[in-house]
Structure 1
Amino acid sequence: MTANLLADLPDASAGEVFTELLHRPGIRIERIVSQGQVTPEDEPMVQDWDEWVLLVEGAAGLRVEGSAEVELRPGDHLLIEKGRKHWVTWTAKDRPTVWLAVHLD
Protein backbone atom coordinates (compact mmCIF):
# COMPACT_ATOMS: atom_id res chain seq x y z
CA MET A 1 0.00 0.00 0.00
CA THR A 2 1.34 3.44 -0.87
CA ALA A 3 0.83 6.60 1.11
CA ASN A 4 1.86 10.22 0.70
CA LEU A 5 3.71 11.98 3.51
CA LEU A 6 2.13 15.32 2.58
CA ALA A 7 -1.45 14.13 2.07
CA ASP A 8 -4.17 14.90 4.60
CA LEU A 9 -1.99 17.01 6.88
CA PRO A 10 -3.59 17.51 10.29
CA ASP A 11 -4.22 20.95 11.75
CA ALA A 12 -1.22 21.62 14.00
CA SER A 13 -2.10 25.19 14.98
CA ALA A 14 -3.05 24.07 18.51
CA GLY A 15 -0.11 21.67 18.96
CA GLU A 16 2.32 19.47 17.10
CA VAL A 17 0.88 16.28 15.63
CA PHE A 18 2.95 13.08 15.65
CA THR A 19 2.00 10.23 13.32
CA GLU A 20 3.89 6.95 13.55
CA LEU A 21 4.58 5.61 10.06
CA LEU A 22 6.69 2.53 10.86
CA HIS A 23 7.88 0.77 13.99
CA ARG A 24 10.29 -2.16 13.95
CA PRO A 25 12.88 -3.35 16.45
CA GLY A 26 15.57 -0.67 16.62
CA ILE A 27 13.81 1.90 14.42
CA ARG A 28 10.73 4.10 14.51
CA ILE A 29 9.73 6.54 11.77
CA GLU A 30 7.22 9.31 12.30
CA ARG A 31 5.82 12.35 10.60
CA ILE A 32 5.69 15.48 12.74
CA VAL A 33 3.53 18.42 11.71
CA SER A 34 4.24 21.76 13.42
CA GLN A 35 2.77 25.20 12.97
CA GLY A 36 4.19 27.94 15.17
CA GLN A 37 5.44 25.68 17.97
CA VAL A 38 8.70 26.19 19.86
CA THR A 39 10.49 24.30 22.62
CA PRO A 40 10.58 26.29 25.88
CA GLU A 41 14.15 27.29 26.74
CA ASP A 42 13.90 25.69 30.18
CA GLU A 43 12.41 22.42 28.82
CA PRO A 44 14.83 21.11 26.17
CA MET A 45 14.08 17.86 24.42
CA VAL A 46 16.45 15.05 25.41
CA GLN A 47 15.99 11.53 24.06
CA ASP A 48 17.38 8.09 24.88
CA TRP A 49 17.96 7.34 21.19
CA ASP A 50 19.55 8.94 18.13
CA GLU A 51 17.14 10.89 15.93
CA TRP A 52 17.70 11.75 12.28
CA VAL A 53 15.32 14.48 11.10
CA LEU A 54 14.52 15.71 7.60
CA LEU A 55 12.55 18.90 7.04
CA VAL A 56 10.14 18.05 4.23
CA GLU A 57 8.00 21.17 3.98
CA GLY A 58 7.82 24.58 5.66
CA ALA A 59 10.64 26.10 7.69
CA ALA A 60 12.04 25.85 11.20
CA GLY A 61 14.88 26.81 13.49
CA LEU A 62 16.69 24.18 15.55
CA ARG A 63 19.41 24.45 18.14
CA VAL A 64 21.38 21.49 19.48
CA GLU A 65 23.33 21.81 22.73
CA GLY A 66 26.77 23.24 22.04
CA SER A 67 25.83 24.57 18.59
CA ALA A 68 24.33 27.70 17.13
CA GLU A 69 20.76 27.79 15.86
CA VAL A 70 20.35 26.55 12.29
CA GLU A 71 17.56 27.50 9.92
CA LEU A 72 16.06 24.47 8.21
CA ARG A 73 14.40 24.55 4.80
CA PRO A 74 12.94 21.65 2.78
CA GLY A 75 15.58 19.00 2.18
CA ASP A 76 17.75 19.95 5.17
CA HIS A 77 18.49 17.12 7.58
CA LEU A 78 20.62 16.40 10.63
CA LEU A 79 21.38 13.79 13.26
CA ILE A 80 20.59 14.57 16.88
CA GLU A 81 22.61 12.21 19.02
CA LYS A 82 21.20 10.37 22.01
CA GLY A 83 21.22 12.46 25.18
CA ARG A 84 21.81 15.82 23.43
CA LYS A 85 19.58 18.67 24.53
CA HIS A 86 17.85 20.34 21.61
CA TRP A 87 15.24 23.00 20.99
CA VAL A 88 12.94 23.87 18.12
CA THR A 89 13.42 27.65 18.21
CA TRP A 90 10.66 28.48 15.72
CA THR A 91 8.40 26.93 13.09
CA ALA A 92 6.42 28.64 10.34
CA LYS A 93 3.14 30.06 11.62
CA ASP A 94 1.50 30.65 8.24
CA ARG A 95 1.81 27.09 6.92
CA PRO A 96 2.53 23.59 8.20
CA THR A 97 6.10 22.50 8.81
CA VAL A 98 6.47 18.79 8.07
CA TRP A 99 9.30 16.73 9.51
CA LEU A 100 10.28 13.11 8.91
CA ALA A 101 11.90 11.75 12.07
CA VAL A 102 13.79 8.47 12.20
CA HIS A 103 14.42 7.24 15.76
CA LEU A 104 17.30 4.77 16.08
CA ASP A 105 17.68 2.61 19.18
Structure 2
Amino acid sequence: MSRDNLFSPLPPPGPDERFDTLFSSPHVRIERIVSHRHASPPGFWYDQAEDEWVMLAQGSAELEFDDGRREALAPGDWLLIPAGCRHRVAATGPDTVWLAVHVTP
Protein backbone atom coordinates (compact mmCIF):
# COMPACT_ATOMS: atom_id res chain seq x y z
CA MET A 1 0.00 0.00 0.00
CA SER A 2 1.20 3.52 -0.82
CA ARG A 3 0.06 6.75 0.78
CA ASP A 4 0.93 10.37 0.06
CA ASN A 5 -0.72 13.77 -0.26
CA LEU A 6 -1.57 15.49 -3.54
CA PHE A 7 -0.70 18.92 -2.13
CA SER A 8 2.51 18.33 -0.27
CA PRO A 9 5.20 18.85 -0.80
CA LEU A 10 4.68 21.15 -3.79
CA PRO A 11 7.84 21.83 -5.77
CA PRO A 12 9.08 25.42 -5.85
CA PRO A 13 8.39 27.51 -8.97
CA GLY A 14 10.71 26.72 -11.84
CA PRO A 15 10.94 27.25 -15.59
CA ASP A 16 8.66 24.28 -16.42
CA GLU A 17 5.56 22.58 -15.09
CA ARG A 18 6.29 19.59 -12.84
CA PHE A 19 4.83 16.18 -13.81
CA ASP A 20 4.84 13.42 -11.16
CA THR A 21 3.49 9.95 -11.96
CA LEU A 22 1.41 8.76 -9.01
CA PHE A 23 0.30 5.45 -10.54
CA SER A 24 1.03 3.63 -13.75
CA SER A 25 -0.18 0.42 -15.39
CA PRO A 26 -0.20 -0.74 -19.03
CA HIS A 27 -3.45 1.18 -19.76
CA VAL A 28 -3.69 3.90 -17.09
CA ARG A 29 -1.32 6.61 -15.88
CA ILE A 30 -2.24 9.05 -13.10
CA GLU A 31 -0.19 12.24 -12.79
CA ARG A 32 0.03 15.22 -10.51
CA ILE A 33 0.91 18.32 -12.50
CA VAL A 34 2.06 21.45 -10.67
CA SER A 35 2.04 24.77 -12.51
CA HIS A 36 3.29 28.15 -11.31
CA ARG A 37 1.99 30.68 -13.85
CA HIS A 38 3.02 28.39 -16.72
CA ALA A 39 1.56 28.22 -20.22
CA SER A 40 2.35 26.14 -23.28
CA PRO A 41 4.90 27.74 -25.60
CA PRO A 42 3.44 29.71 -28.54
CA GLY A 43 2.43 27.34 -31.33
CA PHE A 44 2.75 24.20 -29.13
CA TRP A 45 -0.24 21.82 -29.00
CA TYR A 46 -0.68 18.60 -27.04
CA ASP A 47 -1.95 15.90 -29.42
CA GLN A 48 -2.10 12.76 -27.34
CA ALA A 49 -2.79 9.17 -28.37
CA GLU A 50 -4.70 8.50 -25.14
CA ASP A 51 -7.83 9.97 -23.56
CA GLU A 52 -7.09 12.36 -20.69
CA TRP A 53 -9.37 13.12 -17.77
CA VAL A 54 -8.04 16.19 -16.01
CA MET A 55 -9.24 17.91 -12.84
CA LEU A 56 -8.04 21.18 -11.43
CA ALA A 57 -7.52 20.51 -7.73
CA GLN A 58 -6.06 23.89 -6.69
CA GLY A 59 -5.35 27.23 -8.31
CA SER A 60 -6.64 28.47 -11.65
CA ALA A 61 -6.10 27.56 -15.28
CA GLU A 62 -7.31 28.11 -18.79
CA LEU A 63 -7.06 25.53 -21.57
CA GLU A 64 -7.27 26.38 -25.27
CA PHE A 65 -8.40 24.01 -28.02
CA ASP A 66 -7.44 24.18 -31.69
CA ASP A 67 -11.05 25.01 -32.64
CA GLY A 68 -10.60 28.34 -30.78
CA ARG A 69 -12.58 27.31 -27.70
CA ARG A 70 -11.18 28.23 -24.29
CA GLU A 71 -12.10 26.62 -20.98
CA ALA A 72 -11.42 28.49 -17.72
CA LEU A 73 -11.09 26.05 -14.83
CA ALA A 74 -11.61 26.57 -11.10
CA PRO A 75 -10.83 24.07 -8.32
CA GLY A 76 -13.00 20.99 -8.69
CA ASP A 77 -13.64 21.48 -12.43
CA TRP A 78 -12.75 18.56 -14.67
CA LEU A 79 -12.68 17.81 -18.39
CA LEU A 80 -12.44 14.69 -20.51
CA ILE A 81 -10.10 15.40 -23.41
CA PRO A 82 -10.45 12.68 -26.07
CA ALA A 83 -7.40 11.22 -27.78
CA GLY A 84 -6.35 13.38 -30.73
CA CYS A 85 -8.02 16.55 -29.39
CA ARG A 86 -5.35 19.20 -29.81
CA HIS A 87 -5.11 21.46 -26.78
CA ARG A 88 -2.69 23.67 -24.90
CA VAL A 89 -2.37 25.36 -21.52
CA ALA A 90 -3.22 29.03 -22.14
CA ALA A 91 -2.52 30.17 -18.56
CA THR A 92 -2.22 29.00 -14.96
CA GLY A 93 -2.11 30.75 -11.61
CA PRO A 94 0.47 30.26 -8.86
CA ASP A 95 0.53 26.91 -7.00
CA THR A 96 -1.87 25.29 -9.48
CA VAL A 97 -2.31 21.54 -8.98
CA TRP A 98 -3.89 19.23 -11.56
CA LEU A 99 -4.80 15.57 -11.35
CA ALA A 100 -4.57 13.91 -14.79
CA VAL A 101 -5.65 10.39 -15.69
CA HIS A 102 -4.41 9.11 -19.06
CA VAL A 103 -6.17 6.05 -20.47
CA THR A 104 -4.68 4.11 -23.38
CA PRO A 105 -7.29 2.62 -25.72
Structures share fold, TM-score greater than 0.5: yes
Paired position in structure 2 for 1:49: 50
Listed as ranges, the gaps of 5+ residues in structure 2 are none
Distance 1:50 1:35 in 2: 25
Paired position in structure 1 for 2:66: 65
Name the amino acid aligned to 1:73: A
The C-alpha deviation readout for 1:43-64, integer Å capped at 9, x for no partner, is: 1111111100000000000122
SS at match of 2:6: coil
Paired position in structure 2 for 1:12: 13
Given that 1:62 and 1:69 are in contact with CA atoms closer than 8 Å, whether structure 2 keeps it comes out as: yes
Distance 2:36 2:69 in 1: 22
Cα distance change on mapping 1:42 and 1:73 into 2, 3 Å: same
User: How much has 1:36 moved relative to structure 2?
Assistant: 1.3
Distance 2:101 2:68 in 1: 21
Distance 2:102 2:33 in 1: 12
Distance 1:26 1:35 in 2: 29
User: How much has 1:100 moved relative to structure 2?
Assistant: 0.3
**Residue correspondence of structure 1 range 1-105 to structure 2 within 5 A:** 1-66=2-67, 68-92=69-93, 95-105=94-104
Identical residues among aligned pairs (%): 42
Please report the RMSD computed on the Cα atoms of aligned residues, expressed in angstroms. Answer: 1.2
Listed as ranges, the gaps of 5+ residues in structure 1 are none
Could you tell me the TM-score, scaled by structure 1's length?
A: 0.91
Distance 1:33 1:53 in 2: 13
